Structure 1
Amino acid sequence: MLRLNAVHLAVCLLPLALAGCGEPADHDDPRIRPPLVRVATVERAEAGSRAFTGVVVARTQSDLGFRVAGKVLERRVETGQSAKRGQLLLRLDPADLALQAQSQQRAVDAARARAKKAANDLARYRGLVASGAISAAEFDQINAAAEAARADLSAAQAQANVAQNATGYAGLLADADGVVVETLAEPGQVVSAGQVVIRLARAGQREARVQLPETLRPAVGSEALATRYGSESQPVTATLRLLSDAADATTRTFEARYVLNGALANAPLGSTVTLRIGNDQAPGQVLAVPLASVYDPGNGPGVWRIASRPATVSWQPVTVLGLDDENRAGDRPAEARRADRRPGRPSSAPGRGGASGGTTRA
């Protein structure tokens, strides 16, 4: 009976002993094991750039119009045609202008006759006032009338000169060498003085006009790479000459003018160019890390930096400047929950690798 009890006791204690022997150590418990993540080595980022589409324009574009009103008689240029300085572009009907000049000339003749009569009267009355035949007050009136007649003659002569000059304004001449980029008047159309009828792009170095967002304001004098649309030639440099300080009311963008060099210095007006504007950060200030390593817990983005000895992690705030789509088939971003990481938490890094290899536990 005692033996049986001993046997039964041994059998009962055996499961407890086996359970005690099979229990793993606390450090091997998968529930508290650090999560498995990838290690990415921080690298210097290549100079980033952003592409913008612009239009080739002339540095100076003149909006030409007649200095007098009238009816367009003929137009001698077409859009896209080159023009030389002094070349006749449009011509008004000169008939009315000639009549106005004749009218003003007749007014001059009338004023001259009145001035002559007043001068003769003044000469006669000067002798009468000396002999006492008329009073000094009457002589003063005659003298004032003579001076007014001379002034009227001068005014009439000036108006006649203006009318005569207007006859020369019937022809619109190019004020410089250039290219006609737009015609806004046709024969038979009545135009007013100052109305734009021709847009002339002056000859000279070409510029690229682009609209930049308010988040990008390169320094004047900085360079960009320009490529003409559809061209297989190498990009040429373009220098920023002007960046507007006032945003467009509709698009909220800022106009920039880049001076084109090289093969694009004489690019056709209105052609499309692509400008690649580099990042204004100094070399070495921009670093590249995989997108999966950036985490934002709600107070700004950052990365977990791993110290090799001892193998712990620390939080490092960062500023995101841009994204590059460099993902390839087979890439494996970190799958561990970054929220599980804590500053100073131990980690083990059995392998050291770049952005595409290596694992660590954090």
Structure 2
Amino acid sequence: MTRRKALLLSVPIIAVLAFGAVKLSQSQPAAGSPQANDPRQEPILVAVAAARPAGAGERAFTGVIAARVQSNLGFRVTGKVIERLVDVGQRVTAGQPLMRIDPKDLSLALEARRNAAEAARAQLVQVEADEVRYRKLSADGWTPRQRYEQAKAALDTARAQLAAAEAQAEVAQNETGYSTLTADADGTVMDTLAEPGQVVSAGQVVVRLAHAGAREAVVNLPETARPAIGTAAQAGIYGMDGTRSPARLRQLSDSADALSRTYEARFVLDGTAAEAPLGATVTLWLPRGGGQADAAQTQIPLGALLDDGRTTGAWVIDGSSQTVSLRALRIVRLGQESATVTGLQPGETIVALGAHLLHAGDRVRSTQTQAAAK
């Protein structure tokens, strides 16, 4: 009886132990079960970046490529345009004809001036003979002294009139050469402002010529950016390979534009930018302030910023535990792809993308680590 009783008492204990072993085996997933391979149980895969020291920063301005010297050319006489010999964008050499006006009126004016000079010369011959005759008569006492003085004055007047007529004839001769407008230097025609059949006045601009030689970047700077003459900058030409060329400020206007309230600045270009065509779009980068960087400022990708409505920050990754914690930051300035902030130390690792998907304490692994493991 005693043995049977002990056996009956041990049955519930064995049953309880067996039930516990079954539950324990059910709570642990098998090696090949779906729970063991659940990606939700793994650290979150993120792209990381290291905060790097921020440079001094720069501001970008857009302008155009221009020649250092540009001439506004016009005829020196009034006339009707009969021929335009160049087109916009054409390269020309010094002395090359650009435009012509009708020379007929100039030729007639020259003939009239020459005839006037001949008439003055004939008048002078007559007056000279009168002066000689009256001088002899006055010396012999046959005519009053006053009459001789009148003849002498007439001679002086005739000589002056002849000199004036000859000078006017020479001017008319020169004007006949002004019927053809020529380039005063090698360069490129930037604009033509007159066409055949149009009557232009003396001095009216009809051709704009950009002289060959140094190229400059012309930009308009705001009142908050007035660098000193000689300030170094960088220039990039739109449509090229994105390389930057050195530039130097040569001229800064002392007077602001009445409409835009900006100041025209001219930068001398070097390198590949100096070979850019006239009128090309150029971007000029100027250093902020004196070009000195703040040691407390770092640069991070824009995707690393998180703004939850209360604070702006970034997820900083702890190197030992691979967990993230939110670090409050102050934004200094925003660029196209990066932000300059304070609150991080150079070299600290942060989450570069997907900051809005994380929570404090989440474990993460970087894409670089995963690539190395493969």
Alignment TM-score > 0.5, same fold: yes
Structure 2 match to 1:187? 196
**Alpha-carbon separation, structure 1, partners of 2:282 and 2:296:** 30
- Structure having the larger proportion of residues in strand: 2
Give deviations 1:16-42, integer Å, cap 9, x for gaps.
xxxxxxxxxxxxxxxxxxxxxxxxxx9
Matched to 2:112, the amino acid is: S
Q: Which moved more, 1:266-275 or 1:94-103?
A: 266-275
Structure 2 match to 1:217? 226
Q: Which moved more, 1:84-93 or 1:282-291?
A: 282-291
Structure 2 match to 1:335? none
- Relative distance call for 1:118 and 1:286 in structure 2 (3 A) is farther
Matched to 1:94, the amino acid is: P
> Equivalent residues in 2 for 1:281-360 (5 A)?
281-285=290-294, 287-288=296-297, 322-324=333-335, 326=339, 329-330=354-355
Q: Secondary structure at the match of 1:265?
A: helix
Retained in 1: the 8 A contact 2:60–2:284? yes
Structure 2 match to 1:77? 86
> Equivalent residues in 2 for 1:5-154 (5 A)?
45-154=54-163
Structure 2 match to 1:261? 270
**Alpha-carbon separation, structure 2, partners of 1:289 and 1:45:** 5
Structure 2 match to 1:207? 216
Give deviations 1:90-131, integer Å, cap 9, x for gaps.
011111000000000000011011111000001111110011
1:176 has 2:201 as partner: no
Tell me by how many angstroms 1:282 deviates: 4.6
Give deviations 1:305-351, integer Å, cap 9, x for gaps.
xxxxxxxxxxxxxxx9744553854279xxxxxxxxxxxxxxxxxxx
Q: Secondary structure at the match of 1:122?
A: helix
Aligned-residue identity in percent: 52
Give TM-score scaled by structure 2 length: 0.67
**Alpha-carbon separation, structure 2, partners of 1:43 and 1:111:** 89
Match of 1:198 among 198, 202, 207: 207
Tell me by how many angstroms 1:77 deviates: 0.4
**Alpha-carbon separation, structure 1, partners of 2:161 and 2:217:** 56
For structure 2, the 5+ residue unaligned runs are 1-50, 300-304, 307-330, 340-351, 358-374
Tell me by how many angstroms 1:289 deviates: 7.2
**Alpha-carbon separation, structure 1, partners of 2:285 and 2:356:** 29
Retained in 2: the 8 A contact 1:211–1:253? yes
Tell me by how many angstroms 1:245 deviates: 1.1
Root-mean-square deviation (CA), in Å? 2.4
Retained in 2: the 8 A contact 1:212–1:256? yes
For structure 1, the 5+ residue unaligned runs are 1-41, 293-319, 333-362
Structure 2 match to 1:39? none
Matched to 1:130, the amino acid is: A
Equivalent residue pairs, number: 266
**Alpha-carbon separation, structure 2, partners of 1:134 and 1:70:** 54
Give deviations 1:209-240, integer Å, cap 9, x for gaps.
00111001112111211111121141111111
Structure 1 match to 2:372? none
Retained in 2: the 8 A contact 1:43–1:287? no
**Alpha-carbon separation, structure 1, partners of 2:75 and 2:165:** 24
Retained in 1: the 8 A contact 2:57–2:293? no
Give TM-score scaled by structure 1 length: 0.69
Give deviations 1:185-217, integer Å, cap 9, x for gaps.
111111000000000000001101001110011
Structure 1 match to 2:239? 230
Q: Secondary structure at the match of 2:283?
A: strand
**Alpha-carbon separation, structure 2, partners of 1:287 and 1:329:** 25
- Relative distance call for 1:163 and 1:236 in structure 2 (3 A) is same
Q: Secondary structure at the match of 2:275?
A: coil
**Alpha-carbon separation, structure 1, partners of 2:295 and 2:89:** 46
Retained in 2: the 8 A contact 1:57–1:208? yes
**Alpha-carbon separation, structure 1, partners of 2:277 and 2:169:** 45
Matched to 2:355, the amino acid is: G
Matched to 2:153, the amino acid is: A
